[in-house]
Structure 1
Amino acid sequence: MVKKNSKPYLARIPRSGKDYWYFRKGKTLIRLPDDPDSEEFDREYWAIRSGQHKATVKTTFEALITSYYQTPRFRGLKASTKAEYRRTLELLREKNGPKDFTKLRRKHVIAARDKYADQWRKANAMVEQLSILARHAIDLEWITANPAQGVEKLKGGSYEAWPETKLAAYERYCEQHGLTIERAIYELCIGTGQRIGDVVAMEWAHFLGGYMDVVQEKTGARLSIFCPDRLQTFLERLPRNGKHILAKNLTQHISKRRAQSLVAEVRKKIEAQDFVIHGWRYSAAKELAEAGCSDTEIQSVTGHKSLEMVKKYRQQARQKQLSKTAQLRRNRTKTE
């Protein structure tokens, strides 16, 4: 609710139990000092009325992003998450730095999303980071509502397990074109059931006695995963070009983004754009379920914190096996 006193174009807007004063005329909205009885307040008000006021926008994207970086919320994030956030936040800073964040509207969030519609991850990151910035702006009492809240994210590649035909096509393409790194990424993801961020960080020293030691980046869980024969054989034949299995040089591993980019090129060639690299984690869970593994056994490999996803693939495997049993019984009945 907005109330005005005797001064024209003066608006008092209550927020969170506190009054904020503004000069409002048409599209002009300028924040005034908090105390309406002070000389500073009158000076600012009449400067605006006379056209002598040179407004300095303090609520810019630049200021908000800089402020957000200093919060315990951001500082408490893992290094990889910080880097991921920064990519989008710095893009927002570059494009909108001096602009007033308080003028951001839902239509602007949707426009930012749709600008990257052909890159759904980037589009969704825009929505996510604008929402995070808006929540911080609310904490700073710049705004009272989040314009990004409820903005629908775009749907991209499926997080389902890859079909056997696409798995075979990926293997075949890598083999035909000598794509060692692309094949290694695939074998490690399928063999260990881990996320791509954990896969690129794997070191040769972590692979010992058939086990791969992993500290999951997302959960912090420590796992020792026994590798299937196929992965062990592949690793025994793979050249060692550095400290890491997926080596960038002698001491560093390739980045997660680089791994995703390499895999994306193969996906494009084999027409598997509908399936994403994270789907290999689900392929591993699916294969374990189809082998008759219990929920706990599957969880010991993938490291899922929740059993819900594990149960999903075990139930799918059970449905598949039951359908075979049922149809075989049907065949026998017809024959008899």
Structure 2
Amino acid sequence: MKRAERFPHAKSYRDRHGKIRWRYRHKGVTAELGTDWGSEEFCRRYAAAVNGPAKDGAGASRTAPGTLDDLAVRFYKLHLPTVGESTAANYRFVIDRLRVKHGHKRVSHMARRHVIAIKAEMADTPQQANKTLKRLSQLMELAKDLEWRTDNPVDGVKLYPTNPGGFHTWDEGEIARFYEVYEIGSVPHLAMTLMLYTGAAKCDAVKLGRGNIRDGRLVYRRNKTRRNPEGIEVNIPIHPYLAETLAHVPPDAFTFLQTKDGLSRSVKGLGTSMRKWCDKAGLPLCSSHGLRKAICRRIAEAGGTAFAIMSVSGHISLKEAQKYCEEFGRKGMADSAIASLPGGANGEQKLTNHPARFVEKSRKRLQ
């Protein structure tokens, strides 16, 4: 898809430093879109320019009743207060991109063929297409609750096949390689160790500091589950290597990963930095989320149960934690299973231990 087709009325220009920037201009509305075409921030600014600013969502003050814009604003009011900041941002990113092109259309007119067309337009980015279908399905379920529709046109539309494992899980070789490139005392080493030995997601890692240390343990509540009544507090002992790493953090630092200026590091900034650090170390498949999966892998490989994984990772779904046991704990369980077989530890059983019928046959054969 051409850029002009994806974001109508967005034009590029060079600033006084010769850098390419993007600007939206249409019907008297002018808005700067930034330098990173197609990024999350670009899409957010574009949606705000097209729909107009509003407190409860882009274009809330200019929405026509019964349109996708109207439905999105209602969805934001109902659902965003119940999820974490990072989840809310992801919801807005996906839904606002839908609103750019379809916000003015009536929800009651959406048919299954329209959903399939939206899916087909995103065939080059299957994971993003699947996220869009999931959010669109949530919107249509709300439309049913509001009695705007009697059905959900997204039902039955298949998702694109993608990697079922999601983000790549760091293996021990990749972890060792990262530590070869970044020594203890450096920010990359600190970020890596903090997430690897706590299982904290980016949105939690950037907020952790000495205020979270209590009696030699790290205590925090996951941002993603903070507003969930089932959310639990993560309370884990500090691993010796993590303690050694944290000893290099200035004692007056408010958060472990704060910037040189003493400011809290942003979630997006940490993600961008991790991408650069991994690329420099020759680890293109690795990411910050993969570190969270790595500690779950280590626990599973050590024979830990799904509940042990949940106590460290903060998962509230047993099903999610069980996946790690099934994927990474199989080898250890197989070793235990084979060792538990009769004679598994001391070789095959002796003849005298066999059932009597086999002993008698063997004696006759010898005679």
List aligned pairs for 1:251-262, cutoff 5 A. 252-255=264-267, 257-262=268-273
Which residue of 2 is the match for residue 288 of structure 1?
Answer: 299
CA contact (8 A) 1:289 1:317 kept: no
Alignment equivalent of 1:163, drawn from 171, 176, 193:
171
- Map residues 112-151 of structure 1 onto 2, 5 A cutoff: 112-113=118-119, 115-116=121-122, 122-151=128-157
Structure 2: 5+ residue stretches without partners: 1-62, 226-230, 348-367
The structure 2 residue matched to 1:109, chosen from 106, 115, 131, is: 115
> Residues 237 and 199 of structure 1: is their aligned pair in 2 closer, same or farther, counting only changes over 3 Å?
same
Aligned length: 273
Q: Which residue of 2 aligns with 1:91?
A: 97
For 1:94 and 1:171, locate their aligned partners in 2 and report how far apart those are by CA, in whole Å.
44
Q: What is the distance in 1 between the residues matched to 2:116 and 2:279? A: 28
- Cα deviation for residue 91 of structure 1 reads 2.4
What does residue 316 of structure 2 align with? 305
What's the TM-score, normalizing by structure 1?
A: 0.65
Contact 1:213 1:223 in 2 (8 A): yes
Q: Residue 233 of structure 1: CA displacement?
A: 0.8
Partner of 1:315: 329
Identity of aligned residues (%): 26
Alignment correspondent of 1:66: 73
Deviation at 1:296, TM superposition (A): 4.9
Amino acid of the residue matched to residue 162 of structure 2?
A: K
What is the Cα deviation at residue 146 of structure 1? Answer: 1.8
Letter in 2 for 1:318: G
Q: How far does residue 205 in structure 1 lie from its aligned partner after superposition?
A: 1.4
- CA spacing shift, 1:130–1:118, aligned 2, 3 Å: same
Residues in 1 aligned to 2:174 and 2:274: alpha-carbon distance in whole angstroms? 13
User: In angstroms, what is the RMSD of aligned CA positions?
Assistant: 3.8
What is residue 202 of structure 1 aligned with on the other side? 208
Change (3 A) 1:285 1:79: closer
Structure 1: how far apart are the matches of 2:258 and 2:125? 27
By how many angstroms is 1:167 displaced? 2.1
Distance 1:146 1:179 in 2: 53
Would the aligned equivalents of 2:95 and 2:135 in 1 still touch at CA under 8 Å?
A: yes
Structure 1 residues 158 and 97: alpha-carbon distance in aligned structure 2, compared to 1, 3 A threshold: closer
The code of the aligned residue for 1:254 comes to S
d(CA) in 2 for partners of 1:93 and 1:224?
41
Q: Distance in 1 between matches of 2:111 and 2:270?
A: 36
- In the TM superposition, what is the alpha-carbon distance from 1:141 to its structure 2 partner? 2.8
Shifted more, 221-230 versus 202-211: the winner is: 202-211
Change (3 A) 1:114 1:207: farther
Which residues of structure 1 form unaligned runs of 5+?
1-55
CA offsets per residue over residues 243-270 of structure 1, 9 Å max, x none?
Answer: 2222256453422x33333323344455
1:278-298 residue CA offsets vs partner (Å, 9 max, x unmatched) = 332232123234445565544
Are positions 1:229 and 2:237 aligned together?
no
